[in-house]
Every structure is written in structure tokens, then in C-alpha cells.
Structure 1
């Protein structure tokens, strides 16, 4: 069920022109979540806009974030939905922290985006 949400979140980011989207299955590796989703926005306002759009989509399915951080600056926004934690970055911040490297044993999930015309 959460993988459906994960794909819906990733599709939302894709549809709103987010980039470099990756989802990692960290079940059994991380004690805090099952999935990590990481993506880039173009500028700080874009990052915040992506986060707000994700919150709207998740609210529609009855999910509220346990924790949200970084909305005031937009360089790095974290949305924690327990089973999935979403990290939205400005490209330079993502390059600096390289979160993907924290879970080298995690399985990258094929998100299979739908390209809309």
C-alpha cells in the first residue's frame, strides 16, 4: 500500500517538474522508515511548492506527515510519513549531502513514470 503512495508521490514530483527522483527501499536497513524518496527542485520556491503539492496529494488519501522541516528556506525540505521519508533538495544541497550514499544496500525502486501529454 505504501509503495502505491510512494509512486504517487514520485509521479507528483515528476509532473511538477521535479528532477533526479530516486526511491530507495530501506526496509531492514533503516530503523526509522521503509522508503526514502529523494528529488530536486530548481529553486527554493520550487522545492517548497513540491512539498506543498505532496502534502495535498497525501491529505487526499488521508495521510498527514508526522514531521515537516525546511519549508521556511526551501534548500532542503523533509516530509516524514513514517513509512516513507521524502527529501526535497536544491541541487547544490543534494550534491553536498549525498544522502543516497547512506543506504548503499538499499534497493532502488523502479518508479515507472507516466508521461502526460
Structure 2
């Protein structure tokens, strides 16, 4: 089983919202073969606490316009690594230190990457 077209569509919308708030290093993994609880992990880097919050807010707003609401959020107090669960899509917005330390790309390297068709501003 692979991620649904709808999940890929939502991941692309979320990635565009993150890029609009200057998130970098956007990567999406199809984790549907490994996890029964979600289809896609989207990972983004934000430079500091404030940017993490802005990226998360932008993603939530963009998905809300698609009638998709989060089911839970973790890490929003510290703003170092915020996980936002939208059921078929789980978004990880991380500061560079956390991204490097936890290396989600290495952990999910055996899962297919999803092309996001999103241009990042540098």
C-alpha cells in the first residue's frame, strides 16, 4: 500500500505553507508501508522558536482551508520540535539542532520519498 493521492496533495499544501514561512530542507516520506497510523511524514527545518511557531501556524491554516484539522500537537511549548498530526499526514517542524540530532531522514531512509514540487526560498 502506498500513500493516497489525497495524502500527497495535503503534504504538498503543507510543504508550500512551510516554504512560504521560509522553512527549509523540506522532505516527505511515504511511511504507509511501515506504519498503520499515517501515510506521510513531512519534515521541515525552521531556524528558531519563533519561526517554528509561524511554520506550524501556516500549515494548520492551509490545511484548515482544505477542511483538515489537526488531531494532536506535541512540542508546541518549547518550539524546538513540533509534531502536528493530521491523521494521514504527520508534520515535523524542527530546529536545525534537533533535526541533526534525531536524523529522521536516516530513520526513514528505507521509505520512498515523495516529490513535493515546492520551491524553497533561501
Matched, 1:105 2:110: yes
Aligned residue pair count: 116
- Answer whether contact 1:33 1:85 (CA < 8 A) is retained: yes
The two structures have a TM-score, normalised by structure 2, of 0.89
Match of 1:30 among 20, 26, 35: 35
Shift of 1:114: 4.7
The two structures have a TM-score, normalised by structure 1, of 0.92
Runs of 5+ unmatched residues, structure 2: 1-5
Cα distance in 1 for partners of 2:37, 2:105 equals: 16
Matching residue of 2:12: 7
Shift of 1:115: 7.0
What is the alpha-carbon root mean square deviation over aligned residues? 1.5
Cα distance in 2 for partners of 1:114, 1:103 equals: 23
| Range that drifts further, 86-95 or 52-61 | 52-61
